[in-house]
Structure 1
């Protein structure tokens, strides 16, 4: 049984004593998606072949997949054909041989290779290989033979490609209804996909031809709008009108509403306003949504007074429509943001009465209580907060309500005998929360020892053997097939059925350096063990010292707390180096390319390629440097976290507007919902990391005052 050395499956730390046939630079380049990876792998293969080393096949597999990734099919076929690898990798070799044959135009050879892959594939590979088998058989003209594979593949993962191809197979086997259903699904579910228009054309060729209804045209238009294609959205609406499907006033209003949203996305504000005016003349459901879109536009433009007026009109004019719920909530929220606390109390009280089935009632009650607190109406605030806890005992706002109930007593001047039990309840009932941290600090200020939230620090299970369920993933990693390794881990994790399996699997992943996968397994299966039973082995997967050498080294270099780095990393990526956001933030610390370029300039380094931001070492270094600069400027982790999420300029503005408030109130009044939650989690995680792993006998304290920002430090 081979022992492993704690090197990450996806984030291989080289020099661990593992006898790599590939050069370390090759695997590092593959991991970072560097352009030189293919050339390095080719050189490794040539050197290994010349010396007749036993790993030539494994290196050929890596080099072949890299050649495929860059579209060099001829080289991929040369490398992969005739290669020989050990048993665990053979299905993957067959799969990539199939890919090379397919893209070289040899569909028959591809089908044969994919068939071999399916025979002995792991579950993670099997679905991919079966789908490609069906596609290859279809391309080879063996339409009927492709049907079984495509039926299974399209049922398991109904993508636009597989549904379109299954439609062809169904036609060949005489399943006309199935063909029609698949083509229609492609056209309606995936309107922005290239196959969608082709599916529409084929539907028009059927006998009898299928024509879309107005509702279906609108479904496609909304899908195109969601995909960011406003031009094609407008074209889809024009098709509906050309087909004389837009007849009744209700039809015209529905089309006008979607048209207004598309026009707004293209910057044609006046035309959008005209379309909204038409939509507002439609039936109540359409008119209400049109009015709400107008109110949201004002809110997005920071015209809060106009937004409040329009939101109030929506709630009053269409009280039975779903958008009235959100509109009524925003009326109170905008009053609160403007400092009109008495009006906010009234608005949220009215919301609670009018929207008795709203999913936002607990949030509305919380904001109503906050308005009472800002008015120093502490008894009224407690009545609302206690009502929230009683009415919504499972709400995520319960720790918040309990903290502010106790805090309201303290603000009234009550003694610790009154406030203390409330704070202690927050700590013992929600020990990992931001409010447990605040309650701990309040008790210390009052001279009362807070209870221990977690009796024991996280503890990792020890074992020296690679667990059987991860051996294939490790073999794939050693071959440089990091994506395949990740999919194998995810497939194995999805089959966990109980907490005992989850605990063993999560700790195996921790020992392999796969902190992100371990955290995901724990979040799905071990929440109660970690935060209910307070089991230290369960906590270890939620709060790992991920990439410890890099974090501690860079934190020391840039004089920032390693615990703050871990807290930010946990919130940003959940310890997954491969994560990319919709805003193009990348890697463990979610650095966007423009920020990376600015940091590189400050450090007098060459600008990194965007793909290099997935490197754990680079991401940690840039994130640590950036956090150190934010701490220089803001000198408080709450403000540094706010700036990391929303930018330094926003944090400066919030301090200017509300910096006189104590920290707890300041954070509650951060206007961005995402940043508000971000700051709370980062602070909670920072102090948990400190309490778990800190070496100081005296616990670190959280300052409850908001300091003014300094002029030094970053402004980007």
Structure 2
């Protein structure tokens, strides 16, 4: 019994709440089990949320408003929207439900497509004196806008900003009003509100969006000076898009020396980013470089944990190994050296997402520029296999590594929400067509075999490169979005300039994808020399 109680404590301390809750149920400690099970439904992993929800409904039914709300949120995350509504309605069944409970009910009703009832729930919450009343007022106004009741939505959001000017949602609400004016072709009203957002909340993400909207409108009027002013305002505010603003300032500069100076600044302030990478090339600076990693002995604590993990794996106790890895990742506070040792050890053993997560944590203790940190966050497992496949298809191995890092983070077993499989994140229909062209008998299990998935994916990507004349940018865009939209984008005048082509990709996800893969390639070139490099005019 003592060992089991100790296991509960250890699992709970390590953040493995659901397993700890199950053990607490076995011990008939329903108070502890209830606390742990309901906390488990806040997990990032929806599989854990689903298991926690099942455990709660079967053995630990809700007794309080907060527990009903936890069930409602969990059901909503699992897209069981009607169930979410039922749980939220139970939470507000009391004579005086809290504003927080009414907001959760409103959210659940929105997810279930019941906008009319959601508006009523938000109205009840907004009329209370609780702190969530302000959030309810914002959500009601935003829902009115989305429901086609623009005039009422604009009025309610404007009142919300007037009553709660210091609220975190105030700039979001004002941006929604400005954007609606812009859509209704009331540009002067929209410009005034976007300018107000920039001035009142200069460092807010919506202020950054407002400045870029204003700069774009200035450019549409051929007012390059006005656009430059808004980009400069973004830089001076230290906005989220400071690097993008510097890039545009450089392209707008009339003097080439000024442009080179701005590009040099951008290369310094965004040394590991896409725009910094582009700027380094345009400023004529040498390629990115990373210092070599110096060998050092493992810290004692990390070595002990990794030896234990190896023993579990060698004994084929893979579930127990997963529990140990979960506990390692869940422990937030570790000495920097131990944390980095564990991150490297997990990556080396194939626990890619867990190791990379620890790598990002280590970046906060060291810096992102630290060579060991970078190699953990941007690993290259199975390098020989990937380079051989790249060589066979005449693809830059660094580009291939960069693409895989973005697609799957080198996790051969991962399946996306869209149904894409494995290392190269292939959709079954795409993989089947590639296999047919290769005259390979199709078997869906090929998608889950690392080298088969890699071969099919590289064959597909190499085909896209040939299709677009070895032009990397449209090939990457097509790998993400398909060839049909890329064909339209290539018909635009800016298509001949790869940098401008990337900036004008209309799909936000695809534009970010291309930028990230190109940035990754520069990082892999700096981190893992040497390899045969194919030059294509992009960094």
Question: Structure 2 vs 1, CA of residues 572 and 471 (structure 1 numbering), >3 Å: closer, same or farther?
Answer: same
Residues 607-645 of structure 1 deviation map (CA, whole Å, 9 limit, x = unaligned): 3445x5343312321221221233234443233333333
Equivalent residues of 2:11, 2:327 under 8 A apart:
no
Give me the whole-angstrom Cα distance separating, in 2, the residues matched to 1:676 and 1:486: 36
2:226 to 360, 375, 380: 380
Question: Structure 2 vs 1, CA of residues 516 and 224 (structure 1 numbering), >3 Å: closer, same or farther?
Answer: closer
The higher relative CO (CA closer than 8 Å, separation ≥ 6) is in 1
Per the alignment, in what secondary structure is the counterpart of residue 576 of structure 1? coil
Question: Structure 2 vs 1, CA of residues 159 and 629 (structure 1 numbering), >3 Å: closer, same or farther?
Answer: same
Question: Structure 2 vs 1, CA of residues 336 and 632 (structure 1 numbering), >3 Å: closer, same or farther?
Answer: farther
Q: CA deviation at 1:356?
A: 6.0
User: Normalising by structure 2, what TM-score?
Assistant: 0.75
2:408 matched to 1:564?
A: no
Equivalent residues of 2:143, 2:153 under 8 A apart:
no
2:122 matched to 1:288?
A: no
2:466 matched to 1:632?
A: yes
2:404 matched to 1:555?
A: no
Counterpart position of 2:46: none
Counterpart position of 2:360: 523
1:60-459 maps to which residues of 2 (within 5 A)? Answer: 133=4, 147=5, 149-154=7-12, 156-157=14-15, 159-160=17-18, 162-163=20-21, 166=24, 169=27, 178=31, 182=35, 185=38, 193-199=53-59, 210=63, 212-213=64-65, 217-236=68-87, 239=90, 245=94, 257-258=106-107, 260-264=109-113, 272-279=114-121, 281-284=123-126, 285=133, 286-293=136-143, 295=145, 312=154, 315-319=157-161, 320=164, 323-330=169-176, 345-353=191-199, 355=201, 358-392=204-238, 397-409=241-253, 413-414=254-255, 416-443=256-283, 450-455=284-289
* Structure 2 gaps, min length 5: 43-48, 127-132
Counterpart position of 2:129: none
Counterpart position of 1:675: 510
Q: CA deviation at 1:680?
A: 1.2
Equivalent residues of 2:247, 2:279 under 8 A apart:
yes
User: Normalising by structure 1, what TM-score?
Assistant: 0.59
Question: Structure 2 vs 1, CA of residues 431 and 185 (structure 1 numbering), >3 Å: closer, same or farther?
Answer: closer
Give me the whole-angstrom Cα distance separating, in 1, the residues matched to 2:37 and 2:395: 56
Equivalent residues of 2:85, 2:109 under 8 A apart:
no
Give me the whole-angstrom Cα distance separating, in 1, the residues matched to 2:473 and 2:183: 20
Residues 522-576 of structure 1 deviation map (CA, whole Å, 9 limit, x = unaligned): 43325787754xx656654455543222212222333332222111111223333
Equivalent residues of 1:252, 1:279 under 8 A apart:
no
Question: Structure 2 vs 1, CA of residues 421 and 168 (structure 1 numbering), >3 Å: closer, same or farther?
Answer: same
Give me the whole-angstrom Cα distance separating, in 1, the residues matched to 2:294 and 2:15: 37
Equivalent residues of 1:509, 1:515 under 8 A apart:
yes
Give me the whole-angstrom Cα distance separating, in 2, the residues matched to 1:259 and 1:632: 48
Per the alignment, in what secondary structure is the counterpart of residue 316 of structure 1? helix
How many residue pairs are counted as aligned between the two chains?
514
Give me the whole-angstrom Cα distance separating, in 2, the residues matched to 1:181 and 1:527: 34
Question: Structure 2 vs 1, CA of residues 249 and 528 (structure 1 numbering), >3 Å: closer, same or farther?
Answer: closer
Equivalent residues of 1:461, 1:507 under 8 A apart:
no
Question: Structure 2 vs 1, CA of residues 651 and 197 (structure 1 numbering), >3 Å: closer, same or farther?
Answer: same
Equivalent residues of 1:341, 1:371 under 8 A apart:
no
Give me the whole-angstrom Cα distance separating, in 1, the residues matched to 2:354 and 2:332: 14
Flag the structure with larger Rg.
1
Give the RMSD, CA atoms, in angstroms: 4.8
Equivalent residues of 2:69, 2:104 under 8 A apart:
yes
